[in-house]
């Protein structure tokens, strides 16, 4: 009965996810219209040596390496802070969650008012006698994209971690206080171990949202932005426009493999930590 109840969603996953994934993997090993010629790993060799792909992969790795720890640390700090508040915590949660409801185009439009060549920030620099900055066509664009990602996604991760904090019994903190434990010891020995499932889920969601940040990067710089924000999605989008499906398929498979490997590794570490905790109990 359980199988038949799950059959509709299984069919949907097979048709809309599994089958396109198999077709993409096949295209990554072929060349020609409809994948008519099997070429082995030559497509992978060509893409992995392509300077634009290497630039996009490096920028994406740099973005993930800075944005993911920042959003998790910031959301953890805010969730711990809101837990101590006795008044206004619900309003603050809604306020932090509001950026997720703002369309990407609206966010970038507001940024353009401040950061364009004739924007407010350049007007301020001119009045101060300082040279104008090309905020969106220079290395500043990368940090602007980081800040935009944090502004848009910190609230949701904070909600997830706040829900995890509410599941931790207060009796554990009371017992730790009686034993003389300080705030840091409570955080290290009680909060973080029991918050691991929520942290893992928040990390996966933040990772997926980080790849969605291409919308903002595309609206900020277009098809060919500054090299600092040229991401893997730009590389795939440009190859799609050029009808270079083998190169597009290789890039998509590489991105899928990296996400799968990172998520699987973290899930394995989490399972090992849980088994170790059960054995200690």
Determine the pLDDT at residue 225. Answer: 85
Determine the pLDDT at residue 6. Answer: 92
The arithmetic mean of pLDDT across residues 223-229, rounded, is 84
Determine the pLDDT at residue 281. Answer: 53
* Phi, psi for 38 (deg, rounded to 5): -80, 125
**d(C-alpha 108, C-alpha 65), whole Å:** 23
> Rounded to 5 degrees, what angle do the CA atoms 236, 103, 237 make?
10
**Dihedral sign for Cα atoms in the order 66, 239, 49, 27:** positive
Determine the pLDDT at residue 135. Answer: 83
Whose CA is closest to 218, among 205, 230, 228?
A: 230
**d(C-alpha 18, C-alpha 226), whole Å:** 35
The arithmetic mean of pLDDT across residues 220-230, rounded, is 84
Q: Which of 149-153, 235-239, 272-276 has the lowest mean pLDDT?
A: 272-276
280 pLDDT more than 50 = no
Residue predicted with more confidence, 267 or 8: 8
Determine the pLDDT at residue 70. Answer: 94
Largest CA distance in the chain: 74
Question: Which DSSP string corresponds to 56-97?
Answer: HHHHHHHHHHHHHHHHHHHHHHHHHHHHH-SSSHHHHHHHHH
Provide the 3-class DSSP secondary structure of residue 37: strand
Alpha carbon of 31 to those of 40, 99, 236, 245: distances in Å?
9, 43, 17, 8
**Complete domains list, the chain, with CATH:** 1-40 (no CATH), 51-104+143-280 (1.10.3720.10)
251 pLDDT more than 80 = yes
Structure confidence by residue, pLDDT tens digits, 113-160 = 888 877 888 888 888 888 888 888 888 889 989 998 999 889 889 988
Structure confidence by residue, pLDDT tens digits, 43-88 = 888 888 999 999 999 999 999 999 999 999 999 998 888 887 767 6
CB neighbour class for 211 (10 Å; exposed up to 12, middle 13-18, buried from 19): middle
37 pLDDT more than 80 = yes
Q: Which residue has the tokens 């219209």?
A: 33
pTM of the model: 0.83
């Amino acid at each position: 009965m359980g199988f038949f109840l799950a059959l509709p969603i299984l069919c949907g996953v097979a048709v809309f996810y599994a089958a396109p994934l198999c077709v993409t993997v096949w295209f990554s090993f072929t060349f020609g219209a409809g994948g008519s010629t099997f070429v082995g790993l030559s497509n992978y060799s060509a893409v992995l040596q392509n300077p634009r792909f290497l630039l996009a992969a490096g920028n994406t790795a740099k973005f993930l390496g800075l944005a993911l720890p920042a959003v998790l640390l910031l959301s953890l700090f805010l969730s711990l802070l809101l837990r101590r508040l006795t008044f206004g915590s619900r309003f603050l949660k809604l306020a932090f969650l509001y950026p997720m409801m703002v369309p990407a185009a609206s966010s970038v439009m507001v940024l353009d008012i401040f950061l364009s060549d004739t924007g407010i920030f350049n007007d301020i620099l001119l009045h101060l006698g300082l040279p104008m900055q090309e905020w969106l066509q220079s290395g500043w664009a990368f940090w602007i994209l980081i800040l935009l990602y944090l502004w848009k996604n910190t609230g949701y991760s904070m909600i997830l971690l706040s829900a995890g904090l509410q599941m931790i019994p207060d009796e554990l903190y009371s017992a730790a206080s009686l034993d003389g434990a300080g705030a840091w010891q409570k955080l290290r020995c009680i909060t973080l171990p029991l918050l691991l499932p929520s942290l893992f889920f928040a990390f996966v969601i933040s990772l997926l949202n980080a790849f969605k940040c291409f919308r903002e990067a595309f609206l900020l710089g277009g098809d060919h932005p500054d090299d600092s924000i040229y991401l893997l999605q730009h590389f795939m989008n440009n190859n799609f426009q050029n009808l270079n499906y083998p190169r597009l398929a290789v890039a998509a498979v590489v991105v899928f493999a990296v996400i799968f490997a990172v998520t699987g590794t973290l899930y394995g570490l989490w399972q090992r930590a849980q088994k170790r905790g059960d054995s200690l109990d």
